[in-house]
Amino acid sequence: MTITPVGPLQRLAGTLRDQREVLTNRWIKSELRDARIGHCDALTYEQLADHIPVILDEICYLLESEHLNDVEVAIERDARKHGHWRWKQDYRLDELIRELDLFRRVLTAAIASFAKDNHDFTRSQETHARDLVDDAVNLVMLASVHQLVGEQERKVGEYTGMLEEANRELASQRELLANIYQSRQLAARSVVHELRNFLNVFETSLDLVRARPAKVDTALSIAGRQIADMKLLVDQLFEYSVVLSENQVPVVERFELRTLYDELVLAHRVGAEAKGLHLRSEFDSSLDFVTLNRLRVKQIAVNLISNAMKYTRSGEIGFALVKLGADRWCLRVSDTGEGISLEDQERVFGELERAAGDEIPGAGLGLAIVKELVWSLSGEIWVLSEKGKGSVFEIRLPLHLPQQPGCDESPSVASCLNRAVSKVGAAGERTSSNPCALLLKRSRDISDEI
């Protein structure tokens, strides 16, 4: 049996391996005494030791083989793990470098002690051992530092992305609030204009009575029409202000859609026939009970049907309630009226905006009210219209809206942001970024739908 002689570096490696626990304890004590490594005080012994005992074993293998390539992959892997955990433990870069330098000093002292106890361990062998250990610790330091810096940069990148997103959101909110402020200014000017017209007509009526007393009936008729128009404006302004000021989610109830449908058809059929229009109605028999706010659903339908009758001179008005899949349904109102041009389709949902001229009475708040009501019920508005060919308004709502706790956010900011109207999209395009998504569909020919 042949015995392989053990070289001096192999004996050194064996000694360091036998002293692994002692050397680890010595390194931890030196780290705890160092005031420049503040985060070590909060760690347990196991947390402080981390991967150092494993790395020490790998350095012993390096001393036995005398070739760094043999253990380079393993050392680098465990050093990266060490760097990762030091980052998780909130170590600063200088603290990591400092503790690994202390590790180098502990190993250097252990080599010096071995050389002192073993007289056959020459100065050149001691220098070679120190060089090998230096190479290994340098590799550990490089990989650990690279890992910690990479973790820091990744976290900084995440925070930077979050900050950029917050800045974009803030800019968007500022733009939206500026648009809301401008809209309020335009609305105020429009109301003042309507009030001025109202007073001018009254002044003209009074002048007519003074100049020609025989025309008192004509003057009263003119004033009466103006009063009716002003009452409509004031009523819609009040209704719109109530919708905007509500700071609570709607109270939901279970009700039968068929009953509401019959009520709406009965209420509008006489008006439609009086204007020479045919009211075509349709109810999907698969629809039964829904859980929503009944009053708001009714308000949506009344506003849309009234609008359709107002802007349709001849032809028909369509009103339908149809089920959509397993959990949604739609309220559809169509007409053969004037239609809305593509450039006006988004605008008419604004405050005091109208697609028609002054010859058709109205305050321009009906669709703005519809938009707010649909938003409050987590619904969507689909619009299909073409100038001169009529319009289709389709309100898509959930079959069951769960009752939510009251909203604590101020409506002046939070609700206004949620009430943003999406931009015009191509046919079939949907937008889900807002609770109320206004989806305006383009079409060359909508005759099949109306």
Is the CB of residue 395 less than 8 Å from the CB of residue 349? no
Q: What is the pLDDT of residue 204?
A: 67
CA 295 from centroid of its chain's CA atoms:
30
For the chain, give the number of residues.
450
Between the alpha carbon of residue 37 and those of residues 43, 50, 334, the distances in Å are 12, 16, 75
Query: In terms of pLDDT, which residue wins out, 428 or 33?
Result: 33
The predicted model gives 161-170 an average pLDDT of: 88
Q: Is the pLDDT of residue 433 over 80?
A: no
| Rounded mean pLDDT, 101-127 | 93
| CA 109 from centroid of its chain's CA atoms | 59
Tell me the average pLDDT of the chain.
78
Residue 100: predicted pLDDT: 93
CB-based contact 224:239 (threshold 8 Å): no
Measure CA 411 to chain center.
18
Over residues 273-326, the pLDDT tens digits come to 888 999 999 999 999 999 998 988 998 998 899 888 888 888 999 999 999 988
What is the mean pLDDT of the segment spanning 99-128?
A: 93
Confidence of residue 136 (pLDDT cuts 50, 70, 90): very high
Place of tokens 């947390």: 47
Residue 110 has pLDDT above 90, yes or no: yes
- Rg of the chain (C-alpha set): 40
E strands, 250-376, are 253-256, 278-283, 289-292, 316-324, 328-335
Predicted confidence band of residue 341 (pLDDT cuts 50, 70, 90) = confident
Indicate the range of 118-132, 163-177, 313-327, 400-414 predicted with least confidence.
400-414
Residue 55, pLDDT score: 92
More confident residue, 103 or 359: 103
Q: Measuring CA to CA, which residue among 322, 325, 327, 435 is closest to residue 374?
A: 435
Q: What is the pTM of this model?
A: 0.47
Q: Is the pLDDT of residue 75 over 60?
A: yes
Q: Quick one: average pLDDT of 417-434? A: 36
Q: How confident is the model at residue 446 (pLDDT cuts 50, 70, 90)?
A: very low
Domain ranges of the chain: 8-164, 251-441
CA distance 390 to 445: 10
Q: Residues 384-425: pLDDT tens digits?
A: 888 888 889 999 999 998 866 554 433 333 333 334 333 333
pLDDT in tens, 234-285: 665 665 566 555 545 678 899 999 999 999 999 888 888 888 999 999 999 9
Q: Per-residue pLDDT for 134 more than 90?
A: yes
Any idea which fold 251-441 has?
Heat Shock Protein 90 (3.30.565)
What is the distance between the alpha carbons of residues 330 and 249, in angstroms, rounded to a whole number?
Answer: 21
- Pairwise CA distance, residues 9 & 129, whole Å: 7
DSSP H or E run through 171: helix 123-211
Q: Strands 328-335 and 316-324, how do they pair?
A: antiparallel
CATH no., domain 8-164: 1.10.490.70
Q: Residue 182's closest CA among 343, 346, 352?
A: 352
Rounded average pLDDT over 137-166 = 91
Contact predicate 154/132, CB 8 Å: no
- Answer whether 392's CB lies under 8 Å from 332's CB: yes
According to the model, what pLDDT value does residue 243 have? 58
CA angle 350, 371, 419 (to 5 degrees): 80
H helices, E strands: number in the chain: 12, 8
**Partners of 382 in the beta sheet?**
394, 439
